[in-house]
Chains A and B, each alone.
Chain A
Amino acid sequence: MSFEPRILGFLCNWCSYAGADLAGVSRIQYPPNIRVIRVMCSGRVDPEFIFKALKLGIDGVIITGCHPGDCHYIEGNYEAVKKFELVQKLLSKLNMEKRIRLEWVSASEGNRFAEVITDFTNQIKELGPSPLSGKDLDMELMEKLEALEMAAESYRLRALVGRERKITEQENVYGEKYPKEKFDNLFDAAINNEYIRNRILLSLEKNPKSVKDLATQLNIDSKEILNHILVLKGRNQVAMEDIIENQPIYLNVMER
Chain B
Amino acid sequence: MEKIGAVLIVGAGIGGSQAALDLGDAGYKVYLIESTTSIGGVMAQLDKTFPTNDCAMCIVSPKLVETGRHQNIDLHINCKIEEVSGEAGNFTIKILKKSLHINMDKCTGCGVCGQKCPVEAIDMFNEGLAKVKATSVKYPQAVPLVYAINKDYCIGCGVCEGVCKAEAVEYDLEDQEVEFNVGAIILAPGFEEFVPAEGNKYGYGKYKNVVTSIEFERILSASGPYTGKILRPSDGDVPEQVAFLQCIGSRDLREGQPYCSSVCCMYTCKEAVIAKEHMDQVNPTIFSMDVRAYGKDFDKYIIHAQEEYGVQYIRSRISSITEDSKTKDLILKYETEDGKIISEVFNMVVLAVGLNPPNDAEYLAEKFGIELNEYKFALTDVFNPVQTTRPGIFACGAFQSPKDIPETVTQASAAAGCVNQLLYEKTGTLITEKTLPPEIYVAGQPPRIGVFICHCGINIGGYVDVPDVKKYASNLPNVVLADRNLYTCSADTQTIIKNKIEEFHLNRVIVASCTPRTHESLFQETIREAGLNRYLFQMANIRDQCSWVHMHQPKEATQKAKDLVRMAVNKARNIIPLERIKLSVTPKALVIGGGITGMVAALNFASQEYETCLVEKEMELGGHAKHIYTTLEGGSVQDYLSDLIQKVNSNENLHVYTQAEIENIDGFIGNFKTTLIHGDRKERVEFDHGVVVVATGANEYQPKEYLYGKNPLVIKQSDFEKLINTTDDIKNKKSIVMIQCVGSRDEERPYCSKMCCAEAIKNAILTKEKYPGVEITILFRDIRTYGFKEKYYRQAREAGIIFLRYDEKNPPNVIANDSQLKVEVNTPTKEVININTDLLVLSAGIYADREENEVLAMMLKVPINDDNFFLEAHVKLRPVDFATEGIFVAGLAHCPKPIEDSISQANAAVSRACTILSKDEIEAEGKTAVVNMARCSGCGMCVENCAYNAIELIEDRRFGLIASINQALCKGCGACSGNCRCAAIDVLGFTGEQIYAMIKGRL
The chain A residues found within 8 Å of chain B, CB to CB, are 6, 8, 13-15, 17-18, 20-32, 35-41, 43-49, 52-53, 56-58, 66-67, 69-70, 72-76, 79-80, 83, 106-112, 114, 153, 155, 158-159, 161-163, 166
Contact = CB atoms under 8 A, between A and B. Distances in A.
Nearest to A44: B974
A32 B941 contact: no
B686 interface: no
Given A39-B990, A40-B974, A69-B54, A108 B222 contact: yes
B545 A70 contact: no
Given A21-B517, A40-B973, A44-B978, A107 B57 contact: yes
A231 B816 CA distance: 74
A52 to B, nearest CB: 5
B981 A155 contact: yes
Contact of B1002 (A29, A35, A38, A79): A35
A130 to B, nearest CB: 12
B544 interface: yes
A173 B958 CA distance: 29
B642 interface: no
A26 B545 contact: no
14 contacts: A18-B57, A21-B517, A25-B111, A35-B1002, A36-B541, A43-B973, A44-B987, A49-B995, A52-B996, A69-B54, A79-B978, A107-B57, A158-B980, A166-B944
Contact of A23 (B56, B549, B979, B983): B549
Nearest to A112: B222
A51 to B, nearest CB: 10
B358 interface: no
Nearest to A10: B995
Contacts of B53: 69
Contact of A44 (B567, B977, B982, B1000): B977
B548 interface: yes
Nearest to B560: A32
Contacts of A161: 979
Contact of B47 (A8, A108, A153): A108
B944 A18 contact: no
Nearest to A61: B999
Given A22-B141, A56-B1000, A83-B978, A107 B995 contact: no
A110 B228 CA distance: 11
Contacts of B498: none
B616 to A, nearest CB: 32
B998 A37 contact: yes
Interface string B556-569: 11011001100100
Nearest to B978: A46
Contacts of B546: 24, 32
B947 to A, nearest CB: 4
B543 A43 contact: no
Interface string B500-540: 00000000000000011100000000000000000000000
Nearest to A23: B549
Contact of B55 (A20, A39, A70, A155): A70
A44 B990 contact: yes
A118 to B, nearest CB: 10
Contacts of B62: 14, 72
B549 A24 contact: yes
With a 10 A CB-CB cut-off, give which of B111, B975, B977, B1003 has the most chain A CB atoms.
B975
Given A32-B557, A155-B981, A163-B944, A73 B550 contact: no
Contacts of A30: 549-550
B939 A107 contact: no
A28 B971 CA distance: 32
A14 B978 CA distance: 18
A74 B947 contact: yes
Interface in B300-316: none
With a 10 A CB-CB cut-off, give which of A35, A70, A111 has the most chain B CB atoms.
A35
B945 interface: yes
